[in-house]
Amino acid sequence: MQALLIVDVQNDFCTGGALAVPEGESVVPPLRRLAQQFTALGLPVYATRDWHPADSRHFAANGGTWPVHCVQGTPGARLREDLKLPSSVQIVSKGQSRTDDGYSAVVGEVAGRGTLLEDLKTRGVDKVIVGGLATDYCVKHSVLDLLSHRFEKARELYADHWLGFSEVQLHQFLENAGFKNIDVRVVSREKQSPHFQTVFATGMK
């Protein structure tokens, strides 16, 4: 079975947000379409959210790296309304403790169902389509963690801006993480932006 994983399409990561990805909202239309398609087919859809406490050590103000963003219960932490996610979508909360950066969705919590990884295994999911914000952090860490848990069939990265990553650099970061047999290639573009692309990855660790 396949599943769709929408990563951190939250107000704070889009234009005007506290930690905005340039043109981050451009991921919304294709991911909205995918969510609708998966739901119509009865396939699982997950949407992750950074869900930090105000005193998170993730924030520069508390000794970390990042400006304050996606604080639990704030407008900036809300998923984009224009995603128009179906009611059946499972919300995955990550970075909930003071010491958790929350980069990977795999260990995020699905209310009443355990971690995302546990829920994927319970449902028999062996293929995950991933997209969202931002590619160089939460999308990347989530994909690498999924690969490390041997999701053995095709993996697809439905990517946002690769922030200057070339196709060669995509191969490089996968190889540096220990994935030597991953085939990565650009297969389509969804927007005028030269960095918005769909990436198809296959192979095993």
Task: Give how far the C-alpha of residue 92 lies from the chain's centroid of Cα atoms, to the nearest Å.
Answer: 10
Query: Catalytic residue at 138?
Result: yes
Catalytic residue among 12, 70, 138, 160: 138
Distance CA 32, CA 28 (A): 6
Decide if 101 contacts 58 (C-beta within 8 A).
yes
The DSSP symbol for 59 reads B
Query: Catalytic residue at 119?
Result: no
CB within 8 A of 72, min separation 6: which ones? 51, 52, 53, 54, 96
Place of tokens 């947000």: 17
Residue 38, token pair as written in the block: 């998966």
Distance CA 142, CA 10 (A): 16
Q: Which of 112, 127, 126, 115 is nearest to 48 (CA)?
A: 115
Catalytic residue among 70, 94, 101, 119: 94
Query: Catalytic residue at 70?
Result: no
Q: Which residues are catalytic?
A: 8, 94, 138
